[in-house]
Amino acid sequence: MSTQENIKLDEEFIAAWNAHDPDRAVAVLSEDIVWRDVGAPEPLRGRAAAREFVQSWFTSFPDMKVVVKNRVASDDQVAAEMEFVGTNNGPLQMGPGAPAILATGKRVVGTGTYFVRIRNGKAVEVHSYPDAAGLMMQLGLMPMPAN
């Protein structure tokens, strides 16, 4: 695929997140997607696992909006730095098998990066690195560092 086609695929992925549509989000993923998230002890394998992961973010932050701050793309990859804002009005689960954290009602500004490998018009591998420590501090679940 061309670099421009891969950017369009990434834009569709982000648009699906902003529409809070897990089915639309996983539509850009291959059936055998492997998703590695820094907060998950094991890779997520397949669209069903990816859908559950995406939905968990929508449940945790029902008003979440994502903005790509920086993007680099090639003929088989996209890497991006992103920011999201949202209010933690649902239980938060940092990865499959992790215990759910009760909603705090706090609004956060989260950051992170992700890398997507693309083959035949679908994402076949995702590596995501949300700033979990920063998120936990904003939610009051981890102490802020001393100045």
- Grouping H, G, I as helix, E, B as strand and the rest as coil, residue 109 is strand
CA 106 vs CA 59, 90, 91, 137: distances in Å: 14, 11, 12, 11
- Report the alpha-carbon distance of residue 94 to residue 124 in Å, rounded: 22
Give me the CATH topology for the region 3-138.
Answer: Nuclear Transport Factor 2; Chain: A, (3.10.450)
pLDDT of residue 125: 98
pLDDT of residue 49: 95
User: For the residues of 13-35, what is the DSSP string, one character each?
Assistant: HHHHHHTT-HHHHHTTEEEEEEE
Residues shown for the chain = 147
Check whether 39 has a pLDDT greater than 90. Answer: no
Mean pLDDT of the region 114-119: 98
* 28 or 143, higher pLDDT: 28
pLDDT of residue 94: 67
The domain ranges of the chain are: 3-138
Q: Give the whole-number percent of the chain exceeding pLDDT 70.
A: 97
pLDDT of residue 74: 97
pLDDT of residue 95: 64
- Report the alpha-carbon distance of residue 43 to residue 34 in Å, rounded: 6
136: left (phi over 0), alpha (psi -120 to 50) or beta: alpha
Residue 66's nearest CA partner among 81, 52, 85, 51 is 85
Check whether 143 has a pLDDT greater than 90. Answer: no
Q: Rounded to two decimals, what is the model's pTM?
A: 0.91
Residue range 50-80, pLDDT digits in tens: 999 999 999 999 999 999 999 999 999 999 9
Looking up tokens 């850009």 gives 28
pLDDT of residue 75: 96
pLDDT of residue 100: 84
- Report the alpha-carbon distance of residue 138 to residue 135 in Å, rounded: 5
